[in-house]
Each structure stands twice: as structure tokens, then as C-alpha cells.
Chains A and B, each alone.
Chain A
Amino acid sequence: MTLSNRKNNSGSKFMAKAKKEPYLLINIIFAGVILLILAYSGIFSPEKDNYPVICVHEKLTGEPCISCGLSHSFSLIVRGRIGEAYQWNAFGMRVFLFFISQLFMRVVFLLISLRHPDIRKQLIIYDCVVSGIIFLISFWPFMTSIVKGVF
């Protein structure tokens, strides 16, 4: 059996396992989505200002919203210009850290659930709680702005 055949076999086995276990598949897809977000931040540069995502809120109301400048902020963080990133959006770092923590969690939880399938249910509960808390901490300013806007 050649090396490529072995790799193909292990890959197909993993995919079959992932199809049977939704948690594995969800982890893989979310890790991919987060990597795409990081790639987006890396590809589009703040100097060229060629971001395809525009603020719908600003287009409708003419007023910049609390999340304006988030793309610029992400790009600057990826390039290591943290000070400038804070100037573009004060909450950019928080949200960026949420995505980084999620990427780390996806990889770690995927590996743990593969090695210890017997504790998968507990792992899912733990994952939901921790992810929920990190999400609330990271997105709290945005959520409060929405609540203030509605009421």
C-alpha cells in the first residue's frame, strides 16, 4: 500500500466519521469559516480601501454605526498594527479575539472528541456554555446598541 493510498484511506475514514457525527462536521465547517474571515482580513488592505462589505446601516440612515470600521480594524490587527486598529473600531480587538478563540476551540474540541468519543455529550455542553459566554463578552457593546435602538 502506497503512502498516498494510506492518506486517502485515513481521509475517507475521517470524512465518514464526520458525516456520522454532526459535532465533528460542525467544528470543521466553523474552523473553515473563521479561516475565511482571517483570509478576508488579510486579502483586503486598509490602504487600498477595497472592502466589498458596506455598512447597510450607514447607507440607510446616513449615520455610522457602532460596528463601522470593523473590517479595517481586522485587517490592521492581522498586519500587527494594533494601535491603528483601535482607532478604526474600539471593539475590533474584542471581536477578533472571539474569532481566534473560536478557531482554537474548534481545533481543540475536534481533537478531544476524536480521542475521547465517550465524553462527547459533556464536551458539547461545555463548548456551548463557553462559546456563549465568550460571544456575550465580545459582542456585548453591539448587542446593547441594538437593545438601546429598539427601546
Chain B
Amino acid sequence: MEDVKNNSGQNMGIAALITAIITFVLAVVPCVGIIAIIPGIIAIILASVGLSQAARNSNPRGVLLAGLIIGIIASLIAFSQIFVAGKIAQKADKWPNEIQNVINDVQDNVIKDIEDANISIKVESNGDKVEINTNTGKKDMEKKLEELEKVNTQTNDSVKPKK
């Protein structure tokens, strides 16, 4: 019975050390680094429980301490991945604005191209053809508007301001 008790502390140490080393390898891989927090905590708990058992039975604690230290370091590395992800996410916040600016530029360019373009719409139905040709002619419209404004200002000039 006592032998089983002695072994349990040792087994805990082996389990803690293996979990801690696997956690360490996982923690340094950015893809799965954050997940490594879970086995890291398990390794720390196993090592802590094993240490308390070893202290009671005055068993060797080398493996348990190694498991605990590696587990703590691995958990810290895994935890640091949260900060890395957070920093990248902060940078990523600026990207939507940059994308919006690019879209606005493209939209402006397209509108400028369309402004003076000729548009033709053709509709065919049962041999009948309807063709509509039009152009926005923004420049022509602007000229007309300027001419009209000139006429308006000339008529307005004749009105005397009230005192």
C-alpha cells in the first residue's frame, strides 16, 4: 500500500514533466500557442499535487520540480501569445480604413470615367429594335450653366440695392 503511495507521487511527476515538455513545444508554435495554456495549467497542477505528496512521503522531487518549472515557463510563453495576437489585431483595426480609402479612390476614378462617356442601350424584342443613345456631357452642361449664370447676373445687376 505504501509502495503505491510512493509511486503515485513519482507517476504524477512523470505525467507533469511529459505534459510540460509537450506544452513547451506547442507554446512556441504560434498557430497553437494559445491552446497550450490548457496543458500548461494541467502540468502545473500535476506537479503541485505530486510535490505535496512527495513532501508528505519524503520522496525524491527532481522530476516534479522539473515538470513544475518547465510547465510554468511553457504557460508563460503560451500566455504571451495572447499579447502577440492582441497587437496584430490592433494593427488589423487600421486596415478597414485603408481598404475604404482605396475603394473611394476607385469609385472616384470610375465616376470620372463615366462622366463624359457615351451610353447606348439596345433592346431587342420580337424583331423590334429600340436603341437609346445618350451622354451625360457634364462639360457641356457646365458650360450651359455658366452661360445661364452670366445672363442671370447681368439682369441682377440692374436691380438697385435697398438702402
User: A: which residues have CB within 8 A of B?
Assistant: 19, 22, 25-26, 29-30, 33, 53, 55-58, 60-63, 65-68, 70, 135, 139, 142-143, 145-146, 149-150
A149 near B31: Cβ-Cβ < 8 Å: no
In which size bucket is the chain B interface?
Answer: 20 to 34
- For the complex, give the distance between the alpha carbons of A65 and B80 in Å: 15
Chain A: minimal CB distance from B4 (Å):
12
Given A22-B63, A56-B35, A57-B85, A142:B28 Cβ within 8 A: yes
Chain B residues at the A interface, C-beta cutoff of 8 Å: 7, 10, 13-14, 17-18, 21-22, 25, 28-35, 63, 77, 80-81, 83-85, 87-89, 92
Q: How far is the CB of A125 from chain B (nearest CB, A)?
A: 12
User: Binding site of A, secondary structure by majority: helix, strand, loop or mixed?
Assistant: helix
Question: Which A residues lie within 8 Å of B17 (CB)?
Answer: 22, 26
B92 near A70 (CB under 8 angstroms)?
no
Q: Within 8 Å CB of B89, what residues of A?
A: 60-61
Q: Which residues of B contact A58 (CB under 8 A)?
A: 31
Given contacts A61-B92, A62-B92, A63-B88, is CB(A53)–CB(B81) below 8 Å? no
